[in-house]
Copies of this chain bind each other. A is one copy, B any other.
């Protein structure tokens, strides 16, 4: 189980780039901390925060998500459902080996962990001259319930 981000991590990374630690940014991070393993869209986050003490604007949600992704706290991804989704990364840079199984029938997205890809990444880097910093793998198929 890799280490999760804390508010202290957030504060630190923001300061490094002369950004401010605002209530809104903290709140957005808290949403992800309290929804582990979910792939939330901007609308999802906005919906979760509706009616809560802090009434955040949708535009601010978008701006916060973008910033948190730049700080490598969140990872941005597309599952082909028309909107960008984000998930919490690990605080440990080398521990991002998770793939996604996307069911073509019900749309469910299941996480899957595996390290076989390290080998492939090295192979690709060597053959192509690319300096690889990250990868994303998606498998499309049918989940147990939909087969």
Contact = CB atoms under 8 A, between A and B. Distances in A.
Copies in the complex: 2
B130 A101 contact: yes
A82 to B, nearest CB: 10
B128 A101 contact: yes
Which one of A99, A123, A130 has the greatest number of beta carbons of chain B within 10 Å? A130
B140 A134 contact: yes
A124 B101 contact: yes
Interface string A87-113: 000000000000101011000001010
A120 B128 CA distance: 21
A31 interface: no
B112 A131 contact: no
For the complex of A and B, 8 pairs with smallest distance between CB atoms: A132-B141, A78-B78, A134-B140, A131-B142, A135-B139, A129-B144, A116-B120, A136-B138
Interface of A: 76, 78, 80, 99, 101, 103-104, 110, 112, 114, 116-117, 119-121, 123-125, 127-144, 147
